[in-house]
Structure 1
Amino acid sequence: MSKIKNDTILRAFRGEATDYTPVWYMRQAGRSQKEYRELKEKYSLFEITHQPELAAYVTRLPVEQYNVDAAILYKDIMTPLPGIGVDVDIKSGIGPVIANPVRNLQDIEKLGSLDPNRDIPYILETIKLLTEEQLEVPLIGFSGAPFTLASYMIEGGPSKNYHKTKSLMYSDPAAWFALMDKLAEVSITYAKAQVNAGASAIQIFDSWVGALNAADYRTFIKPTMEHIFQSLRELNVPLILFGVGASHQIMEWNDLPVDVIGLDWRLSIKEARDKGITKTLQGNLDPAFLTSDWKVLEERTKDILDQGRQAGPHVFNLGHGVTPEISPSVLKQLTAFIHSYSAKQNSIL
């Protein structure tokens, strides 16, 4: 049985009025926390996620330390890929590295299908531990989107320009759409398994899709995303889409059957509303502000909260993830400020 006592963020995700602006932070689990760094001296990311007790501990730490309104499951977007035959390792200072990159249709046809109970039972066990025993706020599950997963699989690791990915997309559409179909099914299966295990919302990270222009997004990506979100609607949980540097695709996203659009810091909440975005918005503080003077951080946070309140509905978050140099004490102070300032402003209305 779920132990959720604070469902404020779920109501905000669904566009309902709330007493204050709820908040969570991308990459809030890990990165800058002392306890997490101590764990990472002993275990790799994959080793932590394969131990449900440890993964649950890392997931709930920011809830306990910062008083945020949701937990985000500690894992990586690469987590389901070994199950379909992708040889991936997370290398410190580099990120995901793929030993068997995809180059053609034959490589894609070799990929298998994800079976959550066989391939990721430790993820499901972590979710059950958290939602049945440990958390009193909602747990957000997530999956990487097909373009972002494909970019790693084709490039062999992180990329600055995604030339190999785009080349396959432009030069071999049959192979490209076969890969999109394969990864769409992975995303759908993975997200459904997380919700069935107890997750209360799903965020799809299309972190690097901003590398494409709007026309190419419409042609090569949007049909796949339509299929994913339409398939996930039956779960009856809030669905969130987020990407970096993708403001030029925002109207395409607004057409998708999602509940929440996550903004990075390049497009303000007001600008998004002025463009005609009507869905709940999530975001969008530049993480760089978290290492600036408190007064500077406070003023920028007020501006984002004011824009969110006037245009509503809004969930506060960062425009990307927490970085290692950010102090946990700042995140705790920021969370308290977001709650108190937004509650006060709402009471004035």
Structure 2
Amino acid sequence: MRTGTWSAPRRVDIIGEHTDYSNGFALPFALAQRTVVHARLRDDGRVTATSDGYGEVEFPVTTAPGEVTGWGAHVAGVAWALARSGAAPTGADLRIRSAVPHGAGLSSSHSLECAVALALTGLHDRDLDRARLVRIVQHAENGYVGAPTGVMDQMASLYGEADRAVLVDARHLTAEPVPCEFASAGLALLVVDTRSPHRHADGEYGARRGTCADASRALGVADLRDVTDLDGALARLDDPVAVRRVRHVVRENARVLAAVELLRAGRLREIGPLLTASHASLRDDYEVTVAELDTAVEAALAAGALGARMIGGGFGGSVIALVEQADRASVGAAVADAFRRRGFAEPAFHVARPSRGAGRDR
């Protein structure tokens, strides 16, 4: 019986949140923490998936949206999307292990979906190109799970490289490696898991995506990345909410490209203010932060971080702080102290390092 093991990393975004929804730019990288799928081929048209801590689901490869819910929908959605792309699996048994808690803002669902997509295609000796897999995973999220996600997460997972960030161009579906060696520069990218659960069940992501699409049509551009005169564009919008959303997306795209140039020039410390500006924009213009995220950023900056911002979709999750390696402990202690004083859950910390992307392990 044909078997194999495939894995896909979680991701963290240096900068560029909510811009891929408007076919813009983002700058994530793959993490060392991975989702691992041990897979065995079966030919009876059934898929079983077992995950530590989440239980087991079973479904036919002919599954349709709504038939599998919860965490299993991410697995079933991939099988469904593969079938709709002409690469339907005959069946499989999947055993899933994951190294990062769900809900930390580190793209757990996309890591799972990428690993499952590679396993289901690998078992059948189908070598789909990575751009096609990106769209399959997005289709699984949008069409089966019902989440209006973009392409940044799976691009980082599928195209990641050690010591490289990934410049994602969501319009053209390209991924360009960018040197990103924080450790050799004496720096660390500290991730603060605020332990704040995501609170976006009321469709806030979709609402923002819709507002940006409506604004693009009102401004007569294909995507907000095509706006060249921001002040003029904002003056043409009557809705103050649209003004804030557009301002975030256009400026965030510019921050991504500015960060790429600094990284290429080896000026890593200088991206700090871009991170902080990104967080302020996500807080004030895109309005996706919560008190835990804002507190973590404020405490990290006050303790000497060079820059800090929320990561992930927002409404909970994690923060990254660019710090001198010598300051990791003191910045972490300052954030933990601020959380104690506010009565928040105790945060967790780890250092993010650009790592290899998804692939077959054995």
Which structure features the higher share of helix residues?
1
- 1 or 2, which has the higher strand percentage? 2
For CA contacts below 8 A with separation 6 or more, give which structure has more relative contact order. 2
